[in-house]
Structure 1
Amino acid sequence: MKESNGKNSIEKSDQDQDLGLYFLELCSRKVKEELKDYNGDGDGDDDEEKEESPSELNTINSSGGFVVVATDKLSVKYTSVNLHGHDVGVIQANKFAPMKRLVYYFEIFVKDAGVKGQVSIGFTSENFKMRRQPGWEANSCGYHGDDGFLYRGHGKGEAFGPTYTTGDIVGAGINYASQEFFFTKNGQVVGTVYKDMQGPLYPTVAVHSQNEEVHVNFGQKPFTFDLKEFEAQERMKQQVKIEEIPVAPNASYGIVRSYLLHYGYEDTLNAFDVASKSTVPPINIVQENGIDDQETTYALNHRKTLRQLIRDGEIDVAFGKLREWYPQITEDNTSAMCFLLHCQKFIELVRVGELKEAVTYGRIELSRFFGSPVFEELVQECVALLAYEQPLESAVGYLLKDSRREVVADSVNAMILSTNPNLKETKNCLHSNLERLLRQLTASCFERRSLSGDQGEAFQLQRVLNGGKKS
């Protein structure tokens, strides 16, 4: 099984592995992430912000002989007399509709319906023929004002909604969650239709008789349609579907309890059990997932003690306890596990300003790791702390944060779990049931999005955990 995260990946098999190396790679990954954030090269929190949105009409790719576009590139007028069916004044937006969001939407104001009121609004592909109404050709969809019909890829329309004329405000949108087009008139949804087109789609408007004129709103001013409320309703629909999925009674109790057990939070576990005594006895989620109590309760007190020592920066004491209780973990002083602990000791000395002691310690304990490709990156990052008068504010300042201690504590916890003679699979040491569920949730959301051609709102775990609100 492979756990992927961007360009980095960690191979995990059911065979025994050096868990220290796993956490060493995890630390290296955090090095790169922290440096990107420090240098301002991070990817940001929301993919929506990366996509360029349509902002004006594309005056280069349009049926220029039949339309006049205003200087602001947001208004279009039909000035000719149409003699043929293909004498359409059609124009696309300058950018395709963003795809990494829940909904995309734009509106037009019909300033003048002209002689025949043959105004239309919709979406077309990049190679759409710019002499045809949206919906009259393949890979296009359009809602037409003169008859209220919806056209989808051929000249024959279908009854859809009311007609629209001078003074009306009409909108067109893509609901990526439901894979539907939707259209509005004067702030109300007219109807929806399945979006059977993939790939980039361009907001498109067309005029087809003399003096027809429309103004386009790509979001430069407030929409008549309440888009935020529509998005909230769509998220609520998704939440309702999720809540309809049957889950075993008190499943959350077992999942949370297994998390506390896995990471050795013994005191919190005891308080959690006391607070939950009045509840219905929980289903044994641990056993249902093929992990018995002997695996999760193994060395609980030892793991709790060592975690607290590392979180307090008492690395020497933690080393001593490990040598006493689990000598097999520390017998190889050049292992990845010992390397992480030595690095953390060096970091703790820098944290309290004992730089001379840090240099001495580094020469004794870290020097043996110099020149090794496996350890080189983290060694360099640790030693770099000495170069700054205020290391906490430097590019490697993340090493002094509490989150760094947690990574080391997690690696020690996993190593102790791996010494359990009743352990069935080494991978059970790495993550709790709760984390496996979150990984499965993430994988499922990415898979669903890929099946939609990578269209739709980018998955953000934090947003899900916050009940659908953007983080």
Structure 2
Amino acid sequence: MSTANSNNSTNHHHGDRDLGFWFLEQSRLASARGLTDMDEDEDAPTELNTINSSGGFLVVSPDKLSAKYPNVNLHGHDVGVVQANKPAPVKRLVYYFEIYVKDAGTKGHIAIGFTSESFKMRRQPGWEANSCGYHGDDGLLYRGHGKGEAFGPTYTSGDIVGGGINYDSQEFFFTKNGAVVGTVPKDIKGPLFPTIAVHSQNEEVHVNFGQQPFAFDLKEFEAQERMKQQMSIEKISLPTNVSHQIVRSYLLHYGYEDTLNSFDMASKSTVPPVHIAQENGFDEQDILFALNERKTLRQLIRNGEIDFALGKLREWYPQIVQDDKSATCFLLHCQKFIELVRVGALEEAVKYGRMELARFFDLPLFEDLVQDCVTLLAYERPRESSVGYLLEESQREVVADTVNAMILSTNPNLKDSSHGCLHSYLERLLRQLTACCLERRFLSGDQGEAFHLQRVLNSSKKARC
């Protein structure tokens, strides 16, 4: 242990505690991840809205999934139009619904589209402002006025027609018998309701809001849209040596010395030298600090050898574990308790809990995690319980990351004592990516899929398989 490191412990005391508590929060988040679904759930349309419709001109079936025009229309306002009971959900990549034209009636004046909540329920979708509709009799698309534009084929009895919103491209799209007819910019703001209209005698349509399989392959369409996103990302040119340096900095930051050596050896003849340290404020010395010690401690913790890890810390970095009620010590003692449960040494776990965890029982900041640890003892198969997350490898990683960050924080030359210890340069780039994607979604009125980095990484992995 150098004198510089020892003197530095006082200067970093408050910062160290903050770092430990940051990782303690990551442990809490791990317990919550299993309870929340990745996708945001929204109420989607399930049936036709018989309350808000032109009820005098159409008959809706008892199941509210079919509509028929029983009369002879006399003029243009005698439209049988009906919206869905709920607006199209917006927090997804695509929304889509279909109609089956059971009978095109005498004139085939059938339309499918989207309308706003204030839409006049005596008009075809697309004939009024804030609406868009694809019409069966002429194949034209109407967008907010009575004049249609060339769009696609007509449709009639026996056809299945669909309408969708692509929130990523901000477009409406329509389909016929399972194939995309065309797309058009979505220039309507606010909630949009799936809408159908019938306008001549005996016209009848059945609506499918997803209760039955669609004729259109929606999953394949979504996959293609995600592939477009991926391809647009991969078109961005990034010099090999820059990406190499970013990956290298990640391995250095977390102390993966053996992997780093293999990585350097494998890329020695393929990656040209790069000097981005001076150009981008990157100082490799900051994350080379104590690399061998950090590697050793990470391996011990990942192997569940907590006693050995504590011994090495007391020998190499006593200032990190001198406060026996710090968040770092707490996480290490919790992990020791967890490892005893993992191997079935329950009596020893109880003794260790009484000896080491007891001091944290009355401290509010630690109470919830202490309870989760102790709860492991209540289950015959703790891995399958609500606190089973503690027995996952990810919990060991949290503890290993905590110790790694604490050691980095003792570096007397470290310019950024918090962010520099918590996140590698690669992770900072990914955090920036997340922020940009969230901002882009905000600028689109919070429409489209919520951004989940793990899903993006997984989809990228699948694309390469």
The TM-score by the shorter chain falls in which range?
0.7 to 0.9
Matches within 5 A, 1:326-365: 326-365=317-356
Query: 2:174 corresponds to which residue?
Result: 183
Structure 2 distance, partners of 1:354, 1:171, is 61
Q: Does structure 1 residue 27 correspond to structure 2 residue 35?
A: no
Query: 2:139 corresponds to which residue?
Result: 148
Structure 2 distance, partners of 1:305, 1:24, is 23
Letter in 2 for 1:92: Q
Structure 1 distance, partners of 2:387, 2:340, is 15
Structure 2 distance, partners of 1:215, 1:370, is 62
Q: Secondary structure at the match of 1:105?
A: strand
Structure 2 distance, partners of 1:392, 1:239, is 36
Q: Secondary structure at the match of 1:18?
A: helix
Instruction: Tell me by how many angstroms 1:415 deviates.
Output: 0.7
**CA spacing shift, 1:256–1:78, aligned 2, 3 Å:** same
Structure 2 distance, partners of 1:219, 1:390, is 39
> Structure 1-normalised TM-score?
0.87
Letter in 2 for 1:27: L
**CA spacing shift, 1:24–1:304, aligned 2, 3 Å:** same
Q: Secondary structure at the match of 2:365?
A: coil
Query: 1:467 corresponds to which residue?
Result: 459
Alignment equivalent of 1:105, drawn from 96, 100, 118: 96
Aligned length: 451
Query: 1:122 corresponds to which residue?
Result: 113
Instruction: Tell me by how many angstroms 1:106 deviates.
Output: 2.2
Structure 1 distance, partners of 2:36, 2:100, is 37
Runs of 4+ in 1 over 6 A off after TM superposition: none
Query: 1:76 corresponds to which residue?
Result: 67
Q: Aligned-residue CA RMSD in angstroms?
A: 2.7
Q: Does structure 1 residue 431 correspond to structure 2 residue 414?
A: no
Q: Does structure 1 residue 45 correspond to structure 2 residue 45?
A: no
Instruction: Tell me by how many angstroms 1:198 deviates.
Output: 2.6
Query: 1:161 corresponds to which residue?
Result: 152
Q: Decide whether the 8 Å contact of 2:71 with 2:201 is kept in 1.
A: yes
Q: Secondary structure at the match of 1:253?
A: helix
**CA spacing shift, 1:349–1:73, aligned 2, 3 Å:** closer
Instruction: Tell me by how many angstroms 1:258 deviates.
Output: 1.2
Query: 1:207 corresponds to which residue?
Result: 198
- Higher alpha-carbon deviation: 340-349 or 124-133: 340-349
Letter in 2 for 1:462: Q
**CA spacing shift, 1:366–1:218, aligned 2, 3 Å:** closer
Letter in 2 for 1:431: H
Letter in 2 for 1:451: L
Query: 1:134 corresponds to which residue?
Result: 125
Letter in 1 for 2:252: L
Alignment equivalent of 2:439, drawn from 421, 439, 447: 447
Matches within 5 A, 1:48-447: 50-284=41-275, 288-426=279-417, 427-447=419-439
CA deviation string 1:204-229 (max 9, x = no partner): 11111222222323334443434344
**CA spacing shift, 1:350–1:144, aligned 2, 3 Å:** closer
CA deviation string 1:385-438 (max 9, x = no partner): 444455444433332333222111111100111111221102111111222222
Q: Secondary structure at the match of 1:346?
A: helix
Q: Secondary structure at the match of 2:168?
A: coil
Q: Secondary structure at the match of 2:364?
A: coil
Instruction: Tell me by how many angstroms 1:353 deviates.
Output: 4.0
Structure 1 distance, partners of 2:356, 2:285, is 36
Q: Secondary structure at the match of 1:375?
A: helix
Q: Secondary structure at the match of 1:467?
A: helix
- Higher alpha-carbon deviation: 158-167 or 95-104: 158-167
**CA spacing shift, 1:391–1:233, aligned 2, 3 Å:** closer
**CA spacing shift, 1:468–1:135, aligned 2, 3 Å:** farther
**Which structure's residues are more often helix, by fraction?**
2
**CA spacing shift, 1:311–1:234, aligned 2, 3 Å:** closer
**CA spacing shift, 1:221–1:394, aligned 2, 3 Å:** closer
Letter in 1 for 2:24: C
Letter in 2 for 1:430: L
Letter in 2 for 1:351: R
Q: Decide whether the 8 Å contact of 2:20 with 2:406 is kept in 1.
A: no
Q: Decide whether the 8 Å contact of 2:249 with 2:284 is kept in 1.
A: no
Q: Decide whether the 8 Å contact of 1:52 with 1:95 is kept in 2.
A: yes
Structure 2 distance, partners of 1:371, 1:455, is 45
**Percent of aligned pairs sharing the same letter:** 74
Structure 2 distance, partners of 1:239, 1:125, is 33
Q: Secondary structure at the match of 1:260?
A: helix
**CA spacing shift, 1:412–1:92, aligned 2, 3 Å:** same
**CA spacing shift, 1:400–1:469, aligned 2, 3 Å:** closer
CA deviation string 1:69-102 (max 9, x = no partner): 2344332221122223211100112332232222
Structure 2 distance, partners of 1:393, 1:108, is 44
**CA spacing shift, 1:198–1:23, aligned 2, 3 Å:** farther
Instruction: Tell me by how many angstroms 1:36 deviates.
Output: 7.1
**CA spacing shift, 1:245–1:35, aligned 2, 3 Å:** closer
Structure 2 distance, partners of 1:24, 1:145, is 62
Instruction: Tell me by how many angstroms 1:167 deviates.
Output: 4.0
Listed as ranges, the gaps of 5+ residues in structure 1 are: 1-14
- Higher alpha-carbon deviation: 324-333 or 118-127: 324-333
Structure 2 distance, partners of 1:21, 1:363, is 26
Instruction: Tell me by how many angstroms 1:263 deviates.
Output: 0.7
Letter in 2 for 1:425: D
Instruction: Tell me by how many angstroms 1:347 deviates.
Output: 2.9
Structure 2 distance, partners of 1:110, 1:34, is 49
